[in-house]
Amino acid sequence: MTDEPHPHVLLLGFTVADDLFQHIVARDVVLPTQTHTFAWALVESVRAAGCPVRLLSAAPASTFPRNRQIRFRSGRFEQAGVQGELLGFVNLLGLKHVTRFLAAVRAGSRALRQHGDDVLLIHGVHTPFLWFGALAAWRGSARVVPILTDPPGVVLPDDGPIVRALRRLDHSLVRMALRRCSGVVVLTAALAEDFAPSLPRLVMEGICNPPAAQASASGPAGSFDADGPWVASRGPAAGFRDVVYAGGLTRAYGVDRLVEAFRGMDDPDLRLFLFGRGELEEWLRTQAKADPRIAPPELLDRGGLVRRLARASVLVNPRPVDQSFVRYSFPSKLIEYLSTGIPVVTTRLPGIPADYDPYLCFAESDTAKGLRDALLRVLAMSPAERGALGSAGAVFVRQTRGPAAQGERIRSFLVELMTATHRHGCVSTGEGELPQHPLGRR
């Protein structure tokens, strides 16, 4: 309704123009594709709900030497009609956090003062940005709402003792900053329960925002036009059935188990494609030489990847379920997979909401055998059955997780926080006085 409030939003995070993102991807060890995709889907969602949004962003670059660029300069940019300001920083361990914090304080304080934004949205658990948010909340500049996509202070296998100590410190600083915020948006309920238990929360596991060229899904199985995503002519090459995975090529994501599962299937007409980057690239090339049905790993841009996913027979998410971080995560690839209208096999991760169940084919276990059995069940379906399952999944994510639906949920949550704040006469410090947002419960 036109008389409903539409908060003005300043989004602090890593939402950069596509040309800068491509520059980073070409030089970085880490591939921040999901961060970039989610960031712009978030912008589109907020705008779809009628909320004006401006951007305050840092380049999503890994710390030197993983990214060889040391100095990132400040500047301004515009994309899709949205104005943004880039924060300059020094990309060295320790200095990166300090310089990003100082840049956020300088540019963020000026932006909030000049434009009078109602809400400071903070994308991610980045300590410099969260502590600027805590400062803004203390000043009463805006309602501060972080979007928690990961747990703080995650230790990586190759971290040395100094980095591990810094991550533990980072973990504590994040918790302290979150207590000063007005509410949180989280990918899974566990993130809020463990790291921001006293704050109002909105659980929003992702946003379905496929490239514009990808058609919407509502047509009958076995067709593809403006109303349907699936058709045999877009499938794999005649006589072949393609199993496709896209994401990090790592053991942590179960890629080795997927390869083992595939090699246990004898059908010569099957092919396995793996798209992404990671520690297993060389091993996968060895596997491709040993089994000609396995294609060497390949890295595609998002548009090319989505087109390739849409030609698969089945898409796979093999992530193991017994790792400590999985209760905090929702694999964003599931939304991307479902949006293509292709059947999806996945392990039963605890962060997958129950309303996804009818549209996914779950592996009974996360072992190679469990994955293989689930793949064989889908491959045994007729083309019409696979098409009907895929089309239903595409309709589901586009209607319930698209920018319009998710943007309205965000707007409603922010308005509720603002209303509660006005009722109390000051910016909330998140000490439990606000109710849990009903749309955040599943």
Per residue in 360-401, pLDDT tens? 999 999 999 999 999 999 999 999 999 999 999 999 999 999
pLDDT 10s digits, 278-317 = 999 999 999 999 999 999 999 998 889 999 999 999 999 9
pLDDT above 70: residue 168: yes
Coil vs helix vs strand at 431: coil
Specify the pLDDT at position 222: 35
Alpha-carbon distance 31 to 41, whole Å?
Answer: 18
Structure tokens at 354: 């129950």
Q: Per-residue confidence at 156, pLDDT binned at 50, 70, 90? A: low
Q: For CATH 3.40.50.2000, list the domain ranges present in the chain.
A: 9-207+403-440, 224-400
Specify the pLDDT at position 212: 63
Classify residue 162 by its DSSP letter.
Answer: H
Classify residue 261 by its DSSP letter.
Answer: H
Specify the pLDDT at position 228: 38
Mean pLDDT of the 215-237 span: 39
Alpha-carbon distance 66 to 270, whole Å?
Answer: 36
Average pLDDT, the chain: 87
Mean pLDDT of the 64-88 span: 96
Q: CB of 89 within 8 A of CB of 64?
A: no
pLDDT 10s digits, 319-361 = 999 888 888 989 889 999 999 999 999 999 999 999 999 999 9
Q: Per-residue confidence at 170, pLDDT binned at 50, 70, 90? A: confident
Coil vs helix vs strand at 76: strand
Classify residue 279 by its DSSP letter.
Answer: T
- Count of other CB atoms within 10 angstroms of residue 237: 9
Range with the poorest average pLDDT among 74-88, 112-126, 227-241, 256-270? 227-241
Mean pLDDT of the 14-32 span: 91
Alpha-carbon torsion (111, 115, 120, 124), positive or negative = negative
Q: CB of 132 within 8 A of CB of 180?
A: no
pLDDT above 80: residue 409: yes
Q: What is 224-400's CATH topology?
A: Rossmann fold (3.40.50)
Specify the pLDDT at position 326: 87
Mean pLDDT of the 108-122 span: 96
Specify the pLDDT at position 159: 62
Alpha-carbon distance 1 to 17, whole Å?
Answer: 32
Q: CB of 259 within 8 A of CB of 287?
A: yes
CATH of 9-207+403-440, one of 3.40.630.40, 3.40.50.2000, 3.40.190.10, 3.90.640.10: 3.40.50.2000
Specify the pLDDT at position 431: 37
Exposed/middle/buried for 92, CB within 10 Å: 0-12, 13-18, 19+?
middle
Q: CB of 241 within 8 A of CB of 270?
A: yes
